[in-house]
A = this chain, B = another copy of it.
Amino acid sequence: MPTDRGQAGPTISEVAAEAGVGRATAARTLGGYGYVSPELRARVLAAAEKLGYRANRLARSMSTGVSHTLGVIVADIGNPFFAGLLRGVSDTSRARGFDVIVLSTYEDLREEVAATNVLIDKRVDGVIVASAALGRDQVAHLRAAIDRGIPVVLVDRAVPALDLDAVVIDNRDAAREAVERLIAAGHRRIGFVWGPPVAQAPATRRELLAAASRNLWTDGERLRGYLDALDDAHIPFDPRLVMVGPKTEERVVTEVGRMLALPDRVTAVFCTETDGMTGSLRALRQAGLSYPRDVALIGFDDSSWAAVMDPPLTMIAQPVHELGAKAAQVLLDILGGAEPAREMHTLRSRLIERASVAPPGS
C-alpha cells in the first residue's frame, strides 16, 4: 500500500520547494542547526508556516540515532503506586523534552522480557524498570539492553544480580520501623500480611527467607525488616502469623481471619500493600472486631483515603512521585553524558502516625 502522500503533512523537500531553496537549507532552518542567512531563513519559515510543516521525529531519530523517548516498565499502570511513580517520571522527562512509553508486566517475568524487547526495537534512549528479576539467570533481557547501549535504571526494586543505578526506598528499614512501632505499643503477636506466591506455607524461618529471596525484592526486604524488629525485641517468630500465597484481597480476608481465630490471636497486623490493608479491614469487620481497640494496624502506601478513615490509619508513605522523578533524572543525566554511579539512591519513606495503633487489649 503506497503511503498516500498529501495526507501525512508536508516534508522538508516540499517546504524547500515552496520557499525556493535547497533541501539542505530548509533542513538547517527547520532543524535549527548549521548556518542560514536571515533572508532565506525567513522564507523557509514562512513556507513551513504556510504549509503547516511539522518535523517527522521518526525520520529525525533514524538519522541521529536518538529518539528522545524513555521506556518505562512497571508491574501495573492501574496501581496507584505505579501511577504516581509514572507521573514523576513523566513530569521530569517531559520537562527535559523526552516522551515516555509505558509497558505493564503484571509481575510476569516473560512479559518483562517482551516489554524490554519492544523498547529495544523502538530504539528508546533509556529504560526505567521496576523489575521482577532477581538472580543471574533472570537478567539477560536487561543485559541485552545495556549491551546495545541503552542505559537502564531500576526503580522501586533493586536487582541484586545487576550492578545498576537503582532508585528505591529502604524497605527493610521502613518495615522494621513500623513493626517496632507496634512492639513499642506493647504488641507481641504481630501478623504479617505479605504473600510471595509460594505453594506451601513455609514452616520455618529459613524456608521463609528462602522463599523471599526467590521472589519480589521489595517483599523480601520488608520481611527482613519484620524479622529484624522481632529479633531486636526477642519476640519468637511464629510462621502462623505470616500470610503467603497470592496477594488478592480475598485471600487476605481469609488469612487474616485465620490469624484472628488463633487461640493466641494476633493483636496487630502489618500490611505490605494496599490490598493487604483493605483485606485486613474487611477481615476485622467480619470478625466483629474494631481497630485500634482490638487490633492495631499499620500498612504500606499511604493514600488520601487512609487519612479520612475513622479512625485514620497509620501508614508508611512512599515518596512515589520523587521515586519516579529521581529515576528519570538519573537516567537523563546518564543520557546527558554522566558516568553511571551504579549505586542505590535511597529515598526516605515516612511512617505517618495516625490512630490505628493502640496498646493491645485497650
Contacts and interface: CB of A to CB of B under 8 A. Distances in A.
Contact of A54 (B58, B82, B90, B121): B121
Contacts of A211: none
Interface string A67-102: 101000000111110111011001100100001111
A78 B67 contact: no
A92 to B, nearest CB: 12
A65 interface: yes
Nearest to A277: B308
B121 A55 contact: yes
A168 interface: no
Interface in A228-261: 249
B123 A56 contact: yes
Complex copy number for this chain? 2
A19 interface: no
Q: Which of A54, A249, A275 has the most CB of B within 10 A?
A: A54
A303 interface: yes
B104 A101 contact: no
Contacts of A90: 77, 102-104
B65 A122 contact: no
Contact of A83 (B65, B80, B91): B80
A45 to B, nearest CB: 17
A310 interface: yes
A124 to B, nearest CB: 10
A144 interface: yes
19 contacts: A4-B149, A54-B121, A58-B62, A58-B67, A77-B77, A77-B87, A78-B80, A78-B86, A80-B80, A87-B104, A94-B104, A99-B101, A99-B118, A100-B101, A278-B305, A278-B307, A278-B308, A282-B308, A309-B310
A176 interface: no
A3 interface: yes
Closest 5 interchain pairs by CB?
A: A83-B83, A78-B87, A305-B305, A3-B65, A7-B149
Given A80-B80, A104-B87, A122-B57, A304 B285 contact: no
A117 to B, nearest CB: 7
A100 B144 CA distance: 22
Given A65-B8, A77-B90, A304 B278 contact: yes
